[in-house]
Structure 1
Amino acid sequence: MPKDMTITRRGLLQCAAWSGLVAVPRAAAAAGGEAPYPNHPVTWVIPFAPGGATGRLSVLICDRLSRRLGQAFVLDHRPGAGGATATRSVASAAPDGYTILATSTANIISASLDSAPGADGSGDLVHVAGIARMPLLLLINKNLPAKTLAEFLAYARANTGKLSVGSAGPGTVQLLSAELFRMLGGITWSVVQYRGSGPALTDLTSGHIHAMFDNTAVAVDLLRSGKVRALAVSTRERAQAFPDLPAVAEILPAFETSGFYGVDAPRGTPKPIVDLLNREINAALADPEIRQHFDEIGATPITGDAGVYAATFRAEVMHWRKLVPQVSAKN
């Protein structure tokens, strides 16, 4: 069973505390004869409220980076506008490697809405490294009578307009998954917007909303505690970590979504710094403890150099560029 990955102030302080325990294994040369990078704490910006998958994955990676590079990687939550607030703030930051962005599917979806050159984020940000891809789970309040995906679809159709679904914010994979499910399932429900999946999950467990899609990194603890019920996974095939859960596609064949996470930095960040961060994030992803945690939540590491990650990012943009108009046209 994985360790509790809940984001707390104590966790952030522990992440920072590791910085004094090890020497820097590799340092990127700074321009102008300055001290090698990093020589002071790095701000790791998370676009959502605490409690979501982006934050939980960031805790794992920041802990390893702090240990290996000898400086604190400090988590800074800046929720708002489905991730756009944080993205804009990082894009306008100094390109010195001391402000970096934890990207998610929200960045992909935002880029997919604009077909202009550079809409994949390359105009304002440089792609540094991937972290993971993972399924989403269709979660419902445990007091609903539905016990299976088929039963839930039937229940939603019979109670048209009476159910509410939570969203982590506009333009997020949680919202687009819910809208795709609504469209393909022929149902009607109301959407409640939150500033991250953490607050939405709180309302799901208390019964203020009835359902939501969310990433396995967040949902697994709630499932094991019996606070919510999972009905299906969002990926095309069943997830090895959740073999008893069907894929939504088994009933709605055109349904397929997943969460996507990585790291970006302001445009103009020196290549030696980008390369260093890429190497160290890849080293973190090879850590046996992180690998075990990924296996338990059904996550697949996204490895490779910055160029490989940039190509993967662009391919993901193209996937959503085809999907988003289909969902939007039905709204």
Structure 2
Amino acid sequence: MATPALVQAQPQAWPTGPIRFIGLFPPGGGTDILSRLWCLKMSEMTGQQFIVENRSGSGGNVGTEAIARAAPDGNTIGLASVAPLSIGPTLYGRLPFNPSQDFSLVSGLWQLPNLLVVNNDVPARSVPELIALLKANPGRYAYASSGSGTTVHLSGEMFKAMAGVDMLHVPYRGAAPAHVDIQGGRVHMIFDNIPQGLALAREGRLRALAVTGATRSPQAPEIPAMAEFLPGFEITSWGGVMGPAGMPPAIIHRLNQLTKESLESADLKRRFEENGAATWYTTPEDFATFRAANEAAFAPLIRASGARVD
């Protein structure tokens, strides 16, 4: 009688050692900042280290595949991102993982809009001025992204379609290296997740023109929403936590409840808000339902944009 009880109790003690959290993009980008804030909070709460391991490439697919291939013992978890889980299934002809079968989705962590920022040398100080500039110079200007298939990429594609402009897409392995080239003038703009772009704009290193949410961001109410100029324009990024398929239900439940507690803490809410994000808790079941619906919502945009990669 004692042996089954002991086995059943062990997952409840999770975590019993360091936890590896696989990030999908290079250090310094918006999702990396938010991931590290959450991992720091989880380390404080559990007394065990949550260590971020950045596995960037292919719009988040490299790190996501690493999560899928990890042992389902709860010692390796990682970032659940809109790019590989909701956009990737339509964007790519083949993926090295199945978003609906290869993961244990645990909870959402944050939602946030993207922010259009331009190099200070770009002669446009508003969205209407940028649209006029691009129409007068088709194909001359380039926008960066943190990788094909990210919301950063699709924000640019939606902007091209709705504004009727022609821009070159230049994908990077993450937002951080893209920002280096934007500030250096090698590319001209990016629809980045709001944390890093907003910080650079407030430092005067880039110029912010619009957020991609349906309304203005509470973190930057002075910056207009793109929908004010292009009605119906809306793209929101999100991140969550997941592990490989087959994680014990007791560990999934424990991680979900710890995540809920972390996201309800005033200090993490404040830190997320400072970086332009809103905390976002879900049950595992609601997270899976949301992901599937999000994939269906993105599919028409990806097909219409011609961005599909076979």
Q: 3-state DSSP class of the match of 1:314?
A: helix
* Residues 130 and 261, structure 1, Cα contact 8 Å, conserved in 2: yes
Q: Does residue 181 in structure 1 map to residue 164 in structure 2?
A: no
CA distance change for structure 1 residues 228 and 114 in 2, over 3 Å: closer, same or farther?
closer
CA distance change for structure 1 residues 112 and 120 in 2, over 3 Å: closer, same or farther?
farther
Q: 3-state DSSP class of the match of 1:135?
A: strand
Number of aligned residues? 301
* Residues 302 and 309, structure 1, Cα contact 8 Å, conserved in 2: no
Q: Does residue 55 in structure 1 map to residue 32 in structure 2?
A: yes
What's 1:199 paired with? 177
Shift of 1:324: 1.5
What's 1:23 paired with? none
Q: Does residue 210 in structure 1 map to residue 207 in structure 2?
A: no
Write the distance in 1 (CA, Å) between the matches of 2:70 and 2:306.
32
Fraction of identical pairs, as percent: 34
In the alignment, which of 235, 253, 256 is matched to residue 257 of structure 1?
235
Mean Cα deviation higher: 74-83 or 185-194: 185-194
Write the distance in 1 (CA, Å) between the matches of 2:104 and 2:64.
12
What's 2:129 paired with? 151
Shift of 1:241: 2.0
Alignment of 1:118-133 (within 5 A): 121-133=99-111
Write the distance in 2 (CA, Å) between the matches of 1:92 and 1:30.
24
* Residues 45 and 100, structure 1, Cα contact 8 Å, conserved in 2: yes
CA distance change for structure 1 residues 211 and 329 in 2, over 3 Å: closer, same or farther?
closer
Q: 3-state DSSP class of the match of 2:13?
A: coil
TM-score where L is the length of structure 1: 0.85
Write the distance in 1 (CA, Å) between the matches of 2:235 and 2:246.
32
Structure 2, unmatched stretches of 5+, are 1-5
Report Cα offsets for 1:206-229 as digits up to 9, x if no partner. Answer: 211101100112222112211100
Write the distance in 1 (CA, Å) between the matches of 2:32 and 2:214.
25
CA distance change for structure 1 residues 330 and 272 in 2, over 3 Å: closer, same or farther?
closer
Write the distance in 2 (CA, Å) between the matches of 1:156 and 1:314.
35
Shift of 1:308: 2.1
In the alignment, which of 248, 264, 270 is matched to residue 248 of structure 2?
270
Shift of 1:48: 1.0
RCO comparison, higher one (Cα < 8 Å, 6+): 2
Alignment of 1:213-292 (within 5 A): 213-292=191-270
Write the distance in 2 (CA, Å) between the matches of 1:162 and 1:179.
16
CA distance change for structure 1 residues 89 and 241 in 2, over 3 Å: closer, same or farther?
same
Write the distance in 1 (CA, Å) between the matches of 2:185 and 2:204.
14
Report Cα offsets for 1:70-124 as digits up to 9, x if no partner. Answer: 21111100111111111111111110011112122212211345899xx972310
The residue type equivalent to 1:48 in the other structure is: F
CA distance change for structure 1 residues 327 and 236 in 2, over 3 Å: closer, same or farther?
same
Shift of 1:329: 7.0
What's 2:49 paired with? 72
In the alignment, which of 280, 289, 296 is matched to residue 302 of structure 1?
280
* Residues 198 and 208, structure 2, Cα contact 8 Å, conserved in 1: no
What's 2:140 paired with? 162
* Residues 120 and 314, structure 1, Cα contact 8 Å, conserved in 2: no
Shift of 1:298: 3.6
In the alignment, which of 279, 293, 296 is matched to residue 318 of structure 1?
296
Write the distance in 2 (CA, Å) between the matches of 1:228 and 1:136.
15
Q: 3-state DSSP class of the match of 2:139?
A: coil
Shift of 1:323: 2.1
Shift of 1:37: 2.1
Superposition RMSD in Å: 2.3
In the alignment, which of 38, 46, 61 is matched to residue 84 of structure 1?
61
* Residues 12 and 250, structure 2, Cα contact 8 Å, conserved in 1: no
CA distance change for structure 1 residues 127 and 44 in 2, over 3 Å: closer, same or farther?
same
CA distance change for structure 1 residues 32 and 240 in 2, over 3 Å: closer, same or farther?
closer
